[in-house]
A and B are shown apart, each in its own frame.
Chain A
Amino acid sequence: MTHPDAWLFLPPEVEALVPPLLARLAATGGGSPDDVERDLRYRIETLILEGDAEQWRAFLREAAEIVAEYAGDDAEAQRVLASILDDQFLLARAVVDLEGTDLDARRQLARAGATPPRGSRV
């Protein structure tokens, strides 16, 4: 049986990299990037301190939707985010079974440019 804390290996990369990038994308819908980033950081930390794997997966799906629906000019941020989030779904399979909504999110991320990191083939 998987330990209830086992999913906590997932958030650190997202906590470090995602808020500023996602803020750039999300802020196109209104609000300042700084405010969006601060709110994202707070939400991620709340999940780390109080959440569980299901809540984390729900957050990933939401983030994937923002990335997928983004229609602005920052294609590089969109592509990097899509790759990070897609890796999260791939890694999460070690602790939860992906469901149809997760697979939908992955398809969205693929359309948004998710690719393996440079030189990842070893």
Chain B
Amino acid sequence: MLTKAQNFRAGLRDGLPICFGYFAVSFAFGIQAAGIGLSIPEAAVISAANLTSAGQFAALGIIAAGASYLELAFTQLVINLRYFLMSCALSQRLAPEMRFAHWFGIAYGMTDEIFAVSCSRPAPLSPYYSYGLIAAAVPGWVLGTTLGAAAGNILPSVLTNALGIALYGMFIAIVVPPAKENRVVAGVAVLSMIVSAVFTFAPYLKTISSGFRIILVTLLVAGGAAWLFPIPDKPVKEDDHAA
């Protein structure tokens, strides 16, 4: 059993790659935010309050157009609905006796990346581990936004390009080890990539937004795998690295 401080430090350490990756992505967001006429504090507050990449990029277009709050709310709902699935999955990894106040902290940090890293931890998930991840990731996200909005051209593009792959590298490092041990997980991973590619390039299907595409692929592949290969009914003990 790790202490709160140990869990927090482990979260900080595992959150470092998220911090780098976020810096690169939010730097690009900051540039675009300045481009539609937002001030540096406005851009920074958007990032600190939302902590969501695709949703924030989409919001810029809506704010720039002066569209209605309803349209903004609906767009965010569609793009960010995947967090709903992630929270459902994560709810099963929390200790039942955890204080409910932690829900509010964990929910704030429910991003693709923090969710991903959380799933690579043995259950039950310590909220202090989540806070460590958040404490590492959020500064990268907000600082990148601020610098991008303040001075979009201080980083050479070759450097932001290289940082752009960091988050994906992390995703791969999370999926591969359990996929090596469990053939169904490996099948789920490979099939999800194939289906995702089909949805990205095929006529008609490619018009689906990226947020919705991820939801559809997840429902199809994880749903199919659950139907064909249900996990054992009574787990002997909590799985070490799986969701």
The yes or no verdict on A and B being binding partners is no
- Could you list which residues of chain B lie within 8 angstroms of chain A, going by C-beta atoms? none
- Could you list which residues of chain A lie within 8 angstroms of chain B, going by C-beta atoms? none
